[in-house]
Amino acid sequence: MVPASAPAVVNEYEHERVPDRALKGPRSFWGLYAGEHTAGTEFMLGPLFIAWGASAVDVILGLLLGNILAVLTWRYLTAPIATDLRLTLYCKLEKICGRRLVTLYNLANGVLFCFLAGAMVTVSATAVGVPFPEVRMPTFSDRLPTGFAWCVVVIALGALQTFVAVRGYAVVARVSQLAAPWMFLIFVACGLVTLPKLASLNPVDIWTGVALDGRPRIGFAGIVLFAWLCNAAMHLGMSDLSILRYARRPAYGWAAGAGMFLGHYVAWICASLLFALELQRHGAAASNAPGPMVFSAVGWAGLACVVMAGWTTANPTIYRAGLAFQGVLPKLSRTAGTVIAGTLATIAGLFPAFAMQLLEFVGIYGTVLAPVGAIIAVDHWLARRVGVTPDWAERTGATFNPAALLAWLLPVAVFFWLYRTHGIFPSYLTVPVWLACGALYVVFSRTLLRRPSAP
């Protein structure tokens, strides 16, 4: 679900248009998307669908529809803008919103990245803890650290991952690329191995539609919207401009389909099967900790897969969060930024709450970050038609665009209010918040922003 190999690309042409000679062929995009969407998060998300009471139809058809919508969004929204502009999100955002607002975006991005990386440290820790019986594995209901041994494992892993993010990122990126096809096959193997152990192969008995622990049922719409919008920050939010700006044609956006249908369909369903078996064996006491489930299914190879899946997701995320913090405080060295990010991620990793509530967290992540993509879409496609100055900050020399800030924060504030007071599933609100942000940007741009002086 999370980009694992992008930074090697992101660091090139950060402040300029990608030249034609640097464009890449379609193969690299298919490989990149297939690899980055088969990751540690997949081990958590599959079981959560069962815990949230998804039925067989919800999962099989809902995921199919949601993933199709995600691919279409990449193809027809992100890729055309990326290939027109050939700029990173940060570069384009700075042209529209000014340096100071990009700093705020960086901060939000960095903090959310840390929590995501923390969830992945948790995933890895469930595998490393398997050989140590004193490590109590977290369950759905665990929000706090499960004990001293758990803390030791998480802190050791977090420190190691931070150290590698500081010193040896290139190695991890390489391992991540190498691991991708093998990791996907381990997911499939887990699914295959689980089938003969299940009491019934009827999908209705696997995805029963009954939520655990009195959770609200997620339902068909929830599954469709989650599958569509779990990567909203990347497609609607335009974070993948950084990747797709290297595409020769917008049609390369179809490559996202490799990630969606291998990672977000096959891998999620296989991970779901693992938890269905766990529920069959342990009932309400079942744990969705990936380490023990995968070890029980496919042995040491599975354990290696869980550690690597968590590691290869957490490491670039810590690295990216460090870069984001460095963007907030330019005097901060990259090492210091990465250490801060790694420390925050490790602290977050101690608390299983982030991993156990990944469905909600991913929805929040997308809903907070995606709206800036609406500002870019308005600027790119509608600006002149609706009387908005394209690239306002660049043209006026401003460092801060108040229209963009208000257009972003107001819908996000309403989202948080609805989420906190009414408990609305975050993915339901991602698109309304995105649309509201785009509309408000038009209104505030016309009313609050001065026009650039004529040349």
Partner 1 sequence: MKTARLLALLGLLLTLVPAGLFALGLLAEGPMKLALLGGTILWFAAAPRWLGDTGD
Binding site for partner 1 (CB under 8 A): 24, 27-28, 31, 174, 177-179, 181-182, 185-186, 188-190, 192-193, 195-196, 298-302, 304-305
In eight-state DSSP terms, residue 231 is: T
- CA–CA distance, 215 with 244 (Å, rounded to integer): 38
Nearer to partner 1 (CB atom), residue 304 or residue 368: 304
Phi, psi of 321 (to 5 degrees): -60, -40
33: which 2 tokens?
A: 């998307």
Nearer to partner 1, 196 or 423 (CB): 196
- Which amino acid appears at position 330 of this protein? P
Angle value at C-alpha 57, between 430 and 40, nearest 5 degrees = 60
* Distance in Å, CB of 180 to partner 1, minimum: 10
Are the CB atoms for 256 and 232 separated by under 8 Å?
Answer: no
Give which of 396, 378, 377 is closest to 387, Cα–Cα.
Answer: 378
DSSP H helices in 23-168: 26-36, 40-51, 56-57, 63-73, 79-85, 89-97, 99-128, 148-167
Identify the sign of the CA torsion 442, 242, 82, 331: positive
* Residue closer to partner 1, measured from CB, 24 or 380: 24
> Nearest distance from residue 290's CB to partner 1, in Å?
16
Query: With respect to partner 1, which residue has the nearer C-beta, 188 or 410?
Result: 188
- In angstroms, the CA 146 to CA 157 distance is 16
DSSP per-residue codes, 363-399: HHHHHHHTHHHHHHHIIIIITTTTT--TTHHHHHT-S
CB 370 within 8 A of CB 239: no
**φ/ψ (deg, to 5) at 358:** -65, -35
Please, which residue, 192 or 410, has the CB nearer to partner 1?
192
Between 192 and 418, whose beta carbon lies closer to partner 1?
A: 192
Nearer to partner 1, 156 or 195 (CB): 195
The nearest distance, CB 308 to partner 1, in angstroms, is 10
Shortest Cβ 447–partner 1 spacing (Å): 46
Least distance from C-beta 278 to partner 1, angstroms?
17
Residue 214 CA to residue 205 CA, distance in Å, equals 19
Residue placing its CB nearer to partner 1 in the complex, 121 or 305: 305
State in angstroms the smallest separation of the CB of 6 from partner 1.
13
At position 15, the amino acid (one-letter code) is H
In the complex, minimum distance from the CB of residue 286 to partner 1, in angstroms, rounded to a whole number? 20
Give the DSSP per-residue string, 354-365: HHHTHHHHHHHH
In the bound complex, what is the minimum distance in angstroms from residue 321's beta carbon to partner 1? 25
C-beta closer to partner 1: residue 177 or 396: 177
What is the number of alpha carbons within 13 Å of residue 445 lying toward its C-beta?
Answer: 27
Question: Closer CB to partner 1, residue 177 or residue 399?
Answer: 177
| Cα–Cα–Cα angle for 48, 54, 59, rounded to 5 degrees | 95
Q: How far apart are CA 238 and CA 231, in angstroms?
A: 10
Judge residue 98's burial from the number of C-beta atoms within 10 Å of its C-beta, 0-12 exposed, 13-18 middle, 19 or more buried. buried
CB of 158 to partner 1, least distance (A): 24
Residue 190, classed as helix, strand or coil, is helix
- Provide the residue type at 228 as one letter: W
Residue 168 C-beta: closest distance to partner 1, Å: 15
Q: Which are the contacts of 317, defined by CB distance < 8 A and separation ≥ 6? A: 2, 113, 114, 116, 117, 120, 345
Which of residues 52 and 261 has its CB atom nearest to partner 1 in the complex? 261
Q: How far is the CB of 198 from partner 1 (least distance, A)?
A: 11
